[in-house]
Amino acid sequence: MTQLPFILTPGEQGDAPRGWTRPAWWPKLAHRRTILVKGWSLLRPAIRAFGDEEVLVIVTTGAKAPEELHLADLPENVRVERFVPYAQLMPYVDLLITSGGYGSIRIALANGIPVIAVSTEEQPEVANFVQWSGVGVGIKTRFATEDDLRTAAIHVLYQPAYRSRAEKAATLVEEMMKLAQTA
């Protein structure tokens, strides 16, 4: 873990953007395990993998409005949002599944959240880092299937070492922030 600070810089801080209000489903975050899914290629496999499971699945779509994606008949436990401020959401998240975006992984690890990173052609090193550091699982395939995601999620959620390493990463972020303030 000596190279961990390479990817760990302070995550997004502060309040939600002006005008953003918590969705109606927000209170459910306190009552269920929560999986956050970020990445276009992961959207449908994640919904199939975790729909109807005993978890709350939050999927963010970014540039596209959820209604543009034609996701009819979503399972009861799946919420699709264009935007949710991760600084507000991460304290409730148990697992991040991502296509390897640096920003979302940085915020997850700053909050002690383990990660499943699916390797992409543009960012294979991020999935490799997640695997190497032990803060989660790197899936080395261009297109993850629902079985890939489900297997990795069970592995990460039920092996406490991943959460422990992610929490150690959060501690390192805090220490780095303190050092930066005294410099």
Q: Say if residues 116 and 156 touch (Cβ distance below 8 Å).
A: yes
Tens of pLDDT, residue by residue over 64-112, are: 777 777 877 899 999 998 889 988 899 999 999 998 777 888 889 999 9
Q: pTM for this one? A: 0.88
Largest CA distance in the chain: 53
Structural domains of the chain, ranges and CATH numbers in brackets: 29-182 (3.40.50.2000)
- At 14, the pLDDT band (50, 70, 90 cuts) reads low
Helices (H) and strands (E) in the chain, counts: 6, 6
